[in-house]
Chain A
Amino acid sequence: RKEVEQDPGPFNVPEGATVAFNCTYSNSASQSFFWYRQDCRKEPKLLMSVYSSGNEDGRFTAQLNRASQYISLLIRDSKLSDSATYLCVVNRGNTPLVFGKGTRLSVIA
């Protein structure tokens, strides 16, 4: 089983829709969790960290479920500019970040 798994998509949604992605991780010792965003032919950029209590940033909400070992990202009121690949990232202390393969989102007008 891969350390971080994501549905590759693509998720094709209309503008204004709500879309959610899940990501599962295999190592229960994982401590830090993030969502990065990567636009086509660009570098990854941090979207948000995922805290145990969950966190929200505008239209974006991230949740962590340690018992089931998954994190989620919810995007409300999707915009065309949200079209990108969303990378789930997991860390276990002083080890490298482990990136998932990403979930591709296309928001359609």
Chain B
Amino acid sequence: DTAVSQTPKYLVTQMGNDKSIKCEQNLGHDTMYWYKQDSKKFLKIMFSYNNKELIINETVPNRFSPKSPDKAHLNLHINSLELGDSAVYFCASSQEWGGGYEQYFGPGTRLTVT
């Protein structure tokens, strides 16, 4: 059974398009995250939700909008895609909010903007 799943795994699209990435966790965790890993492999948090409420919103362009319909899902919608958005986007979850908990990552969505 997959703990944290993301769809799609690969996404190739043109500049200016709008796209969404979906994430689901079946671990019963309260907290979910979106991370971006760029070409230099630096993993940086974008958003965090705890019990469907946004608790972290790092300095991310407002073209990125997360949505959490329920505790098990955290989707990421991106408007007006730009070349610099090309990266791997990881969803993750943890049992509760707070740094001491292990984070479980999804397999990643490799986004390429042309």
Contacts and interface: CB of A to CB of B under 8 A. Distances in A.
- A and B form one complex: yes
Interface of A: 31-32, 34, 42-46, 49, 85, 87, 91-97, 99, 101-102
Given A43-B108, A87-B43, A102-B41, A97 B103 contact: yes
A99 B99 contact: no
B107 A42 contact: yes
B100 A91 contact: yes
Interface in B75-114: 90, 97-100, 102-103, 105-108
Interface residues of B, number: 21
Given A43-B90, A85-B41, A101-B40, A92 B99 contact: yes
Contact of A95 (B99, B102, B107): B99
Contacts of A34: 102
A95 B100 CA distance: 10
Nearest to B105: A43
Contact of A99 (B43, B58, B102, B108): B43
B99 A45 contact: no
Given A31-B99, A93-B98, A94-B98, A43 B106 contact: yes
A102 to B, nearest CB: 6
A43 B107 CA distance: 5
Contact of B103 (A46, A93, A102): A46
B63 interface: no
Query: Counting chain A CB atoms within 10 Å of each CB, which of B43, B45, B98, B102 scores highest?
Result: B43
B103 A99 contact: no
B56 interface: yes
A45 B42 CA distance: 15
